[in-house]
Structure formats: C-alpha cells, structure tokens
A and B are shown apart, each in its own frame.
Chain A
Amino acid sequence: MNPIEEKIRKINREYHYFNTIADDIEEQQKNSRGKLAGKLISIKDCICVKGMESTAGSKILSTYKPLFDATVVERIRAEGGIIIGKTSQDEFGFGSFNINVGVDFKVPLNPHDKTRVTGGSSGGAAGATLLLDNHIAIAESTGGSIVTPASFCGVFGLCPTYGLVSRYGLMDYANSLDKIGPMAKTMKDIALALTIIAGYDEKDSTSTNKEKEKYGAYLGQDIKELKIGVVKEFKQGFQDAVQKKFDEAIKKLQNAGAQIKEISLPLTTEYALSCYYIIATSEASTNLAKYCGLRYGYTEDLEGSYNEFFAKIRSNGFGKEAKRRIILGTFARMAGYRDAYYIKALKVRTKIIQEYKKAFEEVDIIATPTMPILPPKFEEIEKLSPLQNYLMDILTVGPNLAGMPHLNVPIGKEKNLPVGLLLTANHFEEKKLIQVGDWYERN
C-alpha cells in the first residue's frame, strides 16, 4: 500500500477523521504539477469529489458517488493537489462538537486527548490537519464550523467572506451562510489555498465577481498601527484558561505596536444566536427536503405511497440532530409563525450586519477567543440540552451571520489543550487576517 495511504488509515483507525480514503494517491502523486504539487489535500465530506463517496456525514447520502467535482476540487486538482479523502463531520454540519454524526458514522476524537471532542462541524478536517504533514484541509462553515474545530485541535482555519469561494458542489446546510475555507498548520498554506480556491464561478449565483488576489503577498509583514478591536461584551467571562491565553494574546499584539481599541456589539451579543439558529434551521429544512431516496443515496424497496416512502427513507436516513433541526426550521417557516420568526430574524440580521460595518469604520480587526471553553470531554457535552449546546456558538455566529471573514489563530496551550484567538475582518479583507495570523505565527 502507498505509505501515505497507510499513514492515513492508521490515524483513522485511532481517531476517525475520514469517512472515505482515496485509493489512487500513488497515481495522483505521479501526475501532480502546479502550485500544490505534492501537497496532500483532504476535502470535508459535504463537498463533492467525482467518483468518491460523498455523504456530508449522513446515512441518507450513503453510496452517493458524485458525477462531478465541486469547483474548489476542480481548482485544487488543476494545481496538482493530491486529494486524499473525505473528512468526517457533524451530519450536514449540524453541530459545534462533531458528536452529531450521522447514523452508522464514528465520532472523531481530539488529537490532544481522545476523551475530548474535536469541535465541529469540520472535526475530521481539523484533527487531520494537526496529525498529517504537508497537508491542507478544505473545510466548510455555516455558523463556526471552520474556526471552532481549528481552535479545539490547535490549527489555523480561515472562513472567507460569503461569496468569495464558490459553493458549487457543496451540499448545502444553509445557502445564505455556507462558506468553504482552508485549514492548515501554517499561514503560508492558508494563503496559498485561499489564492487557489477564491474567485468568481459562474456556476454559483452568489459568487462574487472580484479581481483575484494573491494572498501570499500579505505574509511577512508587521502589525504596527493596525487597529484591533476588543469587544466590550466579549472581553471576559470565559473559562479561566481561555481568559488567560486571550489576555496574553491581546497584550502581545499591543506590544508589537497594534492599537487596541474597545468597541461594542450590543445587538450581536443579544440577538445573533437566536437570529442564526432561526435562519440556519429554516434554510436547512428546505435544503434537506430534496433527500428522498429516489435519485441517489440511501434507498429501500419502492413500497407504499409517496408520503409513506419518503417518510420511511428520511426517518431511517437522518440522525437525531438533523431531525431536530428540520422540525425547528419547518416550524419557523410555517404559516402563522413565519413573520414572527423567519422574517423577524432576517430583519435582525440586517441590524447585525450594520453593526459590524460600523465597527469596521473604527477598527481593522475584531478579536475575541474562538470558543469560551477548552475542548470539553464527551461526558460533559452529553449533559447539555440542545439549547445549551447552541449557546456555545456565541462568539462564532456573529461573523458568520454577517458574512465577515474570520480566522482561528492557535495561541498556545493550557492544561495541554489548545486555545484559539478569533480574528474577524470586514468583507473581502482576508488580507488583514493573513497579515495578523502570519505575524502571530512568527512571533
């Protein structure tokens, strides 16, 4: 067996980071030419790879081998990237800890401590990024699914501006929130991957037609005069270990000449979580309506009426959190409740976007911790109600709702567990995130 495939299989037996592993790595290596020549690239399971089982971590898509590559995969192949497999995730992205995997899937384990979660929903991508060398992961975020696992596993993870990277070939969770972005051990690899995958795609109607940037140009700079905002409402109240590392990181940025400025995001603090979960589940419940066992994926014998057949396939194919979010989203769009929930949330979202836009008139970057806690143990998470689970996303849903690019920067360990700094910039200002993330990595 190819030594890389063997290594991936070994890691997978222990940590469960892959749903599918490529069997043609050797052949891809032979033909690898371009900016990603020789580089190993893993793809989150919700992104289509031609001929490779792609399930978004759900039983309902088991056996589905796409007939085409997602645009990001096409671009990676064109630059010689070696596609090594599909990384594990919460089913359709429905989770912050990657414990909500689909029926018959395994939960990934934190690479620092197997009794703890990787974070989600791109848990497999983050764990594999830490344990594999010469590797970049292509992940996806709806409400924090890139930065959260990056923080819990101790790697860089960048979620770009909504519309910068094509979503063609992504199995939607929530169309107006989903973004594809890279994870890596170095900012150089983040910049390289983003340069390759970003850019207009006529196959995605929400893709932004902007001139392509070379993000590597923003590496190796200092951060003097850069204005970094700390949020009055998100300055304290975190778990002690997180608080300590966060305070140290802000001090370090200040000592390097960055101007630290206090800003306030009262509407985001108060409303972002409710607003996010209403919009995300509403969109999810419509997106998941297409899975019915007729054209691809999990199926059974054609028995009973339409309603009976579809209900049977969907009830056997979806896991519990998927069902819960379908129920929640269907309710929020139901006649009589639509204005009070879905439409109201879309209006509050406008307010939140305006609040971020105003903050970025004063600062270049906003800094908070990525997660308020260290990676928790599985048994600690099991005690939480679904609502308590959702509340853990308080720091990540804001930038995701507003479509702002954001980056997890590993800022050291406490109790042998990684802590992450979350940097957020204004729309299409990924360059500032790369500048600061890279500076932090070098200092």
Chain B
Amino acid sequence: MKVDENLIKHIAFLARLELTDKEVKEFAPQLKEILESFKKLDKADTKNTEISLHPIPIKNRIREDETTACLSQDEALSLTEHKKDGYFKGPKIV
C-alpha cells in the first residue's frame, strides 16, 4: 500500500471531507509516519485470541416493546432551519 496524497484524497471522499491542497500535503507524510508506527502490532501474537469490543463483558439487553415518552415531532425539529411540513429537509439527491 502506498500512503500518498491520492490515498488521502480517496479517504477524504469516503469520509465526506473536502480537504484543501495544503491539508492533503500535510496529512500524507503524517499518516505515513503514524501507520509505520502501527506496524509493530504485527509482531503481537494473537493466535486464538478473541477480539475485545469493550473492556468489560457486555451483554445484549433488550427492553420490553412498550411505548415510552420521547421527543415530540416539534421538539425534534426545533433545532434546525431545514424543515418542511413536519419533516427534516435535506439537500437534493438527484
């Protein structure tokens, strides 16, 4: 894998970020240096080791399917100017 400015631009697109040329130039060598240092994990012996998504065991908890109090439609829409007829209004898709 080549860590260069093209890779940074590709990742930025995936993450919906528009980076300036200056940021792309700055991030490329920094990402390269950081990823080099991450390579040391390759040496760690993790054969037959499970992953830990959390530091303590977490069990799935599901509540009863009952109606509880929640935000009203008006409240949920109160923090944005982008709304119409009780819905959020987004940018055009096509």
Contacts and interface: CB of A to CB of B under 8 A. Distances in A.
Contacts, number: 175
A267 B41 CA distance: 10
Contacts of B41: 271, 274-275, 278, 341, 344-345, 348
Contacts of A334: 11, 14
Nearest to B60: A205
Given A64-B79, A202-B63, A274-B41, A162 B49 contact: no
Nearest to A348: B44
Contact of A324 (B27, B81, B91): B27
A334 B15 CA distance: 11
A308 interface: yes
Contacts of A254: none
Contact of A386 (B34, B52, B78): B34
Contacts of A330: 11, 14-15
B87 to A, nearest CB: 11
Given A306-B93, A327-B12, A67 B75 contact: yes
Contacts of A323: 17, 19, 23, 27
Interface residues of B, number: 52
B15 A305 contact: no
Contact of B1 (A297, A337, A353, A387): A337
A299 B91 CA distance: 12
A306 B90 contact: yes
Given A305-B91, A326-B15, A403 B56 contact: yes
Contact of A274 (B7, B17, B31, B40): B40
Interface string B83-94: 000001111110
B55 A176 contact: yes
Interface in A352-410: 353, 385-387, 390, 401-404
Given A67-B79, A274-B41, A295-B80, A348 B46 contact: yes
B33 A65 contact: no
Interface of A: 63-65, 67, 161-163, 176-177, 202, 205-206, 208, 267, 270-271, 273-275, 277-278, 285, 289, 292, 294-297, 299, 302-312, 314-315, 318, 320, 323-324, 326-328, 330-331, 334, 337, 340-341, 343-351, 353, 385-387, 390, 401-404, 427
Interface in B45-85: 46, 49-56, 58, 60-61, 63, 71, 75-76, 78-82
A345 B51 CA distance: 8
B59 to A, nearest CB: 9
Task: Give 5 nearest A-B pairs by CB, closest first.
Answer: A403-B55, A346-B51, A347-B46, A296-B79, A309-B91
Contacts of B27: 323-324, 327
B79 A162 contact: no
